[in-house]
């Protein structure tokens, strides 16, 4: 592996001839995640589901389409992940999935836990990320997006306030550095025309090693101050941000129509097809949650319309 960086290896594990992929999708059920185990112990659980994704090309028009097919639970399409670690009575609120070498990694946005998922349903805690710089407050880092850049994994948060503008950088041995990304988040807000009153909520990002650029797909974009009811129903975005490595040059791209209650909670570049992406959109209005899967390319074309995958909230997708 040493000759190839982890971010390139991740994109090159399939070639352009691949037509079928296995997806891993993880749920973040917020308050609904608490369960009682058989021995009476309180624990927190999340569902990890596997689905198939097919890439199809129309022989006459040349148009690309993606199609998802569920793997039934009885065929191994659904697994329960159990965590015994919580903060403030909440845990197992997994918000992202990333393959880091051979390891499938997930992040609890409540406790700051970084876990490897083994044998489809075993959680192995590897790190606890703390909020902000990691030094001043005993509070888990609200991990919301993660990607590989070179041989490191970059983990970020919403970017809505100063604490959530820090990023965490983990090496292959889980060594940790914290960086203040205020300027980068600020430049993205400016590129979207968001002033002091508004906010942008980030839950989905990828580093593109071939284009040497950052891709951010904000979940929420608002020109007015945060109001939960309005945020839930009206602030979903359809704007992809493409930023140079140092965020000095930023372009934006509209992808498909806006559906105001749906916002992007995770997306990935498709290995072997690095200009095509798969993503999740989440709905969260009070206790009502839904998740949709969609596909698009970096020219802004929709390659699969929003497809309902469940009446629960999923915030992480990865191609296995």
pLDDT of residue 163: 95
Q: Does domain 6-319 have CATH number 2.60.130.10?
A: no
* Closest C-alpha to 240, from 196, 285, 275: 275
pLDDT score at 3: 52
How confident is the model at residue 1, as a pLDDT? 42
Read off φ and ψ for residue 135, nearest 5 degrees.
Answer: -105, -25
CA distance 69 to 274: 22
Measure the CA–CA gap between 102 and 186, rounded to whole angstroms: 34
**Kind of pairing, strands 166-170 and 152-156?**
antiparallel
Per-residue pLDDT of the chain (320 residues; tens, 9 = 90+): 445 799 999 999 999 999 999 999 998 876 668 899 999 999 999 999 999 999 999 999 999 999 999 999 999 999 999 999 999 989 989 999 999 999 999 999 999 999 999 998 899 999 999 999 999 899 999 999 999 999 999 999 999 999 999 999 999 999 999 999 999 999 999 999 999 999 999 999 999 999 999 999 999 999 999 999 999 999 999 999 999 999 999 999 999 999 999 999 999 999 999 999 999 999 999 999 999 999 999 999 999 999 999 999 999 999 99
Say which residues have a Cβ less than 8 Å from residue 141's Cβ, sequence separation at least 6.
112, 129, 130, 131, 134, 155, 157, 166, 168
The CA angle 108-304-28, to the nearest 5 degrees, is 15
Domain coordinates of the chain in residue numbers? 6-319
Which is nearest to 111 in space by CA: 123, 101, 121? 123
Question: What is the structure's pLDDT at 291?
Answer: 97
């Amino acid at each position: 592996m040493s000759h190839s960086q982890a971010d390139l290896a991740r994109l090159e594990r399939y070639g352009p001839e691949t037509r079928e992929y296995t997806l891993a999708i993880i749920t973040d059920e917020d308050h609904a995640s608490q369960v009682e185990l058989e021995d009476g112990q309180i624990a927190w659980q999340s569902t990890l589901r596997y689905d198939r994704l097919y890439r199809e090309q129309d022989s006459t028009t040349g148009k690309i389409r993606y199609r998802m097919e569920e793997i039934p639970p009885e065929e191994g399409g659904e697994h329960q992940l159990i965590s015994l670690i919580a903060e403030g009575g909440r845990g197992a609120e997994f918000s992202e999935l990333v393959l880091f070498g051979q390891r499938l990694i997930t992040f609890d946005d409540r406790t700051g836990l970084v876990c490897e998922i083994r044998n489809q349903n075993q959680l192995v805690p590897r790190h606890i990320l703390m909020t902000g710089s990691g030094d001043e407050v005993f509070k888990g880092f609200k991990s919301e997006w993660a990607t590989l850049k070179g041989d490191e994994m970059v983990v970020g948060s919403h970017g809505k306030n100063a604490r959530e503008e820090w990023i965490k950088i983990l090496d292959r041995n889980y060594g940790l550095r914290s960086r203040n990304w205020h300027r980068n988040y600020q430049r993205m807000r400016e590129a979207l025309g968001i002033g002091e009153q508004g906010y942008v909520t980030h839950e989905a990002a990828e580093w593109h090693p071939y284009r040497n650029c950052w891709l951010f797909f904000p979940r929420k974009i608002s020109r007015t101050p945060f109001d939960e009811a309005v945020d839930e129903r009206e602030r979903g975005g359809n704007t992809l941000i493409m930023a140079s490595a140092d965020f000095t040059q930023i372009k934006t791209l509209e992808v498909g129509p806006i559906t105001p209650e749906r916002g992007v909670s995770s997306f990935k570049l498709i290995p072997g097809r690095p200009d095509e992406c798969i993503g999740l959109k989440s709905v969260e209005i009070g206790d009502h949650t839904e998740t949709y899967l969609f596909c698009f390319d970096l020219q802004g074309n929709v390659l699969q319309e929003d497809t309902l995958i469940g009446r629960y909230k999923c915030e992480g997708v990865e191609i296995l």
